[in-house]
Amino acid sequence: MLLSYEEFAARADVVRTQIDGACRAAGRDPREVELLAVTKNHPPAAAVYAARYGLRAVGENRVQEAVEKKAQASAPVAWELIGHLQSNKARIAAGHFDRVQSVDSEKLLELLDQAAAGLGRVLPVLLEINAGADPGKFGATPAATPRLLETALAKKNLRVDGLMAIAPLSDDPAAARRAFAALRALRDQLTQKFSAPLPVLSMGMSGDLAAAIAEGSTLVRIGTALFGARG
């Protein structure tokens, strides 16, 4: 059951305070870090809550769930895909999401570009990188990223906004921060090599928000801290 809007707003206030504090500790401007509400496994009203609170976008993990929810919510928010995208869902994703954060292969780039061209649109994307070398995570390897970016930049119907990563599962509390630092360093190298602005670093969730912001995150993906445990 979804919590009340008032409880959601109170939780969002707490998260924003955490973001502000992490930014101050890192010597950053809090306006540089966007809060993305992750509405996976929550009813369409969760997206309505996010819009009412003033958030720009919500994040969803599964294509079909998001498509159905988007049709029901009628909320003035952008919809971003943050979960793994299967190639057979690429065409649907291109038609229903405002940005796809989980692009990790040249095959997906080709399929999304073709789909976006057919829709007469330019689709914003992020390249998902397995910056923590976690065998259980999706994402391109850092070594494969230059070629992946070069391919992406050549697609006329895609716009590469930046990079995304999920911290590795680890008992070492410093593992997440190392992965985030690696992603930021990779972004800086790619920006210089390709003269391509990659302003978005999507990294950090409810449990590692501060570490992500310390390492340069510009977008944190928060679900549990906003909506409670997922169904």
Q: Give the chain's length.
A: 231
Which pLDDT tens digits describe the chain residue by residue (231 residues)?
899 999 999 999 999 999 999 999 999 999 999 999 999 999 999 999 999 999 999 999 999 999 999 999 988 999 999 999 999 999 999 999 999 999 999 999 999 999 999 999 999 999 999 998 888 889 999 999 999 999 999 999 999 999 999 998 888 879 999 999 999 999 999 999 999 999 999 999 999 999 999 999 999 999 999 998 765
* Cβ proximity of 98 and 70 under 8 Å: no
CATH number, domain at 148? 3.20.20.10
CA neighbor of 64 nearest in space, from 96, 38, 87, 98: 96
Give me the domain span that covers residue 199. 5-227
Rounded to whole angstroms, the Cα distance separating 93 from 99 reads: 9
The number of distinct structural domains making up the chain is 1
Q: How far apart are CA 7 and CA 23, in angstroms?
A: 24
pTM, whole model, 2 decimals? 0.96
